[in-house]
Amino acid sequence: MSSVLTDISTYFPGEKHITASAGLPIRYVAKALGLKFFSTTAVTRKLYRMLGNTVAARRRARLGQQIGHRQNGEWLVKQLYSLGFHQESHFRFLELGTGWLQFYSLYLKLHFPHAQGVAFDVWDNRSWDALQERMHTMQQEWLGLSDQQKLILEGWKGLRDIDEWNHRLGIEYIVNPEGALENLESTSIDIIVSMDVLEHIPQENLAQAIQEQHRILKRGGYAFHQIGLDDHLAHGNHANKRQFLSVSRARWKRYFQNRLQYFNCVPYSGFRCGFAASGFRELSASCERSPQELSKIVVDKDYDTWDQESLEAVRAAFVLQK
């Protein structure tokens, strides 16, 4: 499975001129084709999500610490403490793209028990079984938990579902398939949090989505975003983190882009400009760079206008204020 394709025309009939001079891993192409297939109809998309919820949810609960959830949560709490928040602070937060476990809503409640929250997503991917398993694991394996935090992690016992758990914690759950925040009132949120979410917003909708975040934040409120800028098709198959840069935009959209694991290929500089254009003040911005990965591919001419930092960036972190 580690073989490299130098001519992928057999995978894309009718496009015999397609080549990849730097090579495309077989597993990378196979993943793209599989996701394209499952993206084709509402039925296949529903099947994909059903399989994900029933098969992968428990695995994600067990692997949560390994994929960086706790590290991201610690970054978030550290940022809040540095801005003057403390354990007794009262505020209302919004977690965008709450996903399988509503992990960051839970993490905020562990450190700021008086906070109230909104967990938002485009479809209901939550798994009650996986969440219970995660909280049990946290209580058993995480060191240094206070008695109050242990009580929060025991709060699921005796409850029937995740909605009862949300009610107990003071978390409202909202689903909007279009990703619109229209149900949230202007200046109603103190803190917006997203981890590995903004890269999944369609590029043509990103500016409006950022403007909506600015609208719902209170004056002086904060937004905390970590954004995965790497090639998401490379996840799990050891492909190059900047592989998408070797494919023209047109071919990427036609053959590799899909609706189930979509990422918008917006550069680091593009996010910075987008936040500024919407009226956010940038308190901090940083990116993890991988020049080694970039050196292993031939960058397509479509990306000639990207600055070097954006070409090398694989992850970004932003702290913004309204």
Calculate the CA 249 to chain-centre distance: 22
pLDDT at 262: 93
Q: Longest C-alpha distance within the chain, in Å?
A: 64
More confident residue, 237 or 313: 313
Model's pTM, two decimal places? 0.89
Give the DSSP letter of residue 220: E
pLDDT at 133: 87
pLDDT at 24: 81
pLDDT in tens, 255-312: 899 988 899 999 999 999 999 999 999 999 999 999 999 999 999 999 999 999 999 9
The answer to whether 189 and 195 are in contact (CB under 8 A) is no
Phi, psi of 315 (to 5 degrees): -160, 145
Mean pLDDT, residues 72-80: 97
Q: What percent of the chain stands above pLDDT 90?
A: 69
H-helix segments, the chain: 26-38, 42-51, 57-62, 69-82, 103-111, 128-141, 147-153, 162-169, 203-216, 249-251, 268-277, 291-295, 308-312
Which token pair is 180?
A: 């619109």
Please return the burial class of 220, using the count of CB atoms within 10 Å of its CB with bins 0-12, 13-18 and 19+. exposed
Query: Rounded CA gap, 113 and 108, in Å?
Result: 8
What CATH class does 68-235+265-321 carry? alpha beta
Average pLDDT for the chain: 88
pLDDT in tens, 171-209: 999 999 999 999 999 999 999 999 999 999 999 999 999
